[in-house]
Amino acid sequence: MIMWSPFVQIYRKKYPWIQLAGHHGSFRQGVEAGTILKKLAMPERIALEKLNEDPFLEGFVPKFSGVQTINGEEYIQMQDLLRDFDNPSLMDIKIGLRTFHEEEIVHARYKTKWRKDLYEKMCAVDPKAPTDEENELTAISKYRYMAFRESQTSTVDLGFRIEGIKVSHNTEGVSKDFKTMKDKDKIIDCIFEFSRFDQTLLATYISRLKELLIRLQQSPFIEKNQLIGSSLLFVHSNGAITNKANLWMIDFGKTIPVPPRIKINHKSEWKPGNYEDVKQSSFTRIQQQEESKLKK
Ligand code: ATP
Ligand code: MG
Ligand code: MG
């Protein structure tokens, strides 16, 4: 069964909790008040614990409050960022130009399965996308397919993409297909629409983003970890206290340390081996080269 985002769950009486992305069923109400539970993934637990110890990022990441076991399943318990908002609007923006670990490319090189189904899916989205070689083979690897899907979004060009938006007055939830939203102007329109064209609200978000940038540049955690596939969660209130707005970093399932002695600045061009996570214009090209080496 396909479950469409956003998922709305009723937490406590009259408290709808909204999930914009990820799998249905991976979140539930926390054991302690003001918390939520997310299915445990070890990298995320380690990253969240370390981020909580980083004084520069205090208030910019959800507070971690241990691991809870419910019906034999382990969950990370963390601060519910929606808790203090009245009828919130929220937006999840996935950051970074590279959404794969370097190890995933190595894995793809040695254990590539050629998939006809993914070739067909790719053709259905864009018949001109496969290379001559791929057309001959009528199959592609999963990583090629994932990189292709990413090239359909703004991830590759802008270094971020909208994963989901829920505007409080829009009961249908996310109304646009963000999976193929690439155009900068359309994205800007969506962000304006999300913030109701409200200058005060936008100014609050911008000042919080500027503050986050300063903190990130000082953070010891950030120079030792690659943040892959994580997001910024923007939230504002639409109830009695309007213009209450905030944003946080979330989703550290693929945030892992770089090898010892390596430091990253999150600005340099990514080349395999330097672990940078931002500039990756050459990512798809390198991956295709790897794959054609295999076919020879
Ligand atoms: P994916 O890796 O596919 O992006 P995921 O399963 O790792 O998904 P997250 O991205 O961490 O899940 O979260 C999914 C959604 O849940 C977010 O977009 C946001 O709406 C909500 N969410 C996550 N963490 C919190 C939090 N601490 N407080 C409130 N809402 C949250
Ligand atoms: Mg996410
Ligand atoms: Mg995730």
One-letter amino acid at 93 equals I
Q: Which two tokens stand for residue 246?
A: 């905030």
User: What counts of helices (H) and strands (E) characterise the chain?
Assistant: 10, 12
Which residues, judged by CB distance below 6 Å to any ligand atom, belong to the binding site of ligand 1?
18-23, 26-27, 36, 62, 78-82, 90, 92, 164, 229, 231, 233, 250-251, 253
Q: What is the ipTM of this complex?
A: 0.99
- In degrees rounded to 5, what are phi and psi of residue 106? -60, -45
Q: 265: number of CA atoms within 13 Å, CB side? A: 3
Mean pLDDT of 1-6: 53
Helix or strand or coil: residue 19?
strand
- For atom 2 of ligand 1, the residue with the nearest CA is 22
Angstrom distance (rounded) from CA 225 to CA 285 = 25
Q: Of the given ranges (35-39, 235-239, 275-279), which has the lowest mean pLDDT?
A: 275-279
CB 21 within 8 A of CB 31: no
For residue 41, which atom of ligand 1 is closest to its CA?
7
Does the structure show a pLDDT above 50 at 137?
yes
pLDDT band at 73; cut points 50, 70, 90:
very high
Count, residues in the chain? 296
Angstrom distance (rounded) from CA 20 to CA 30 = 18
Going from the Cα of 140 to the center of ligand 2, the distance in angstroms, rounded, reads 26
List beta partners, residue 245.
236
C-alpha distances (whole Å) from 52 to each of 60, 231, 255 are 9, 17, 14
Going from the Cα of 251 to the center of ligand 1, the distance in angstroms, rounded, reads 6
Going from the Cα of 292 to the center of ligand 3, the distance in angstroms, rounded, reads 30
For residue 80, which atom of ligand 1 is closest to its CA?
28
Q: How high is the pLDDT of residue 2?
A: 42
How do beta strands 245-250 and 231-236 pair? antiparallel
Going from the Cα of 109 to the center of ligand 1, the distance in angstroms, rounded, reads 30
List beta partners, residue 237.
none
> What does pTM read for this prediction?
0.84
Going from the Cα of 61 to the center of ligand 3, the distance in angstroms, rounded, reads 14
Q: What percent of the chain has pLDDT over 90?
A: 49
Predicted confidence (pLDDT) per residue in 201-257, tens digit = 999 999 999 999 999 999 999 989 999 889 999 999 986 666 789 999 999 999 999
Mean pLDDT of 87-109: 80
Q: Which two tokens stand for residue 256?
A: 């892992």
Predicted confidence (pLDDT) per residue in 138-196, tens digit = 999 878 887 888 888 898 888 899 999 998 766 555 556 787 888 999 999 999 999 98
Q: Among 4, 15, 20, name the best residue to mutate to test ligand 1's pocket (greatest count of ligand atoms within 8 A of Cβ).
A: 20
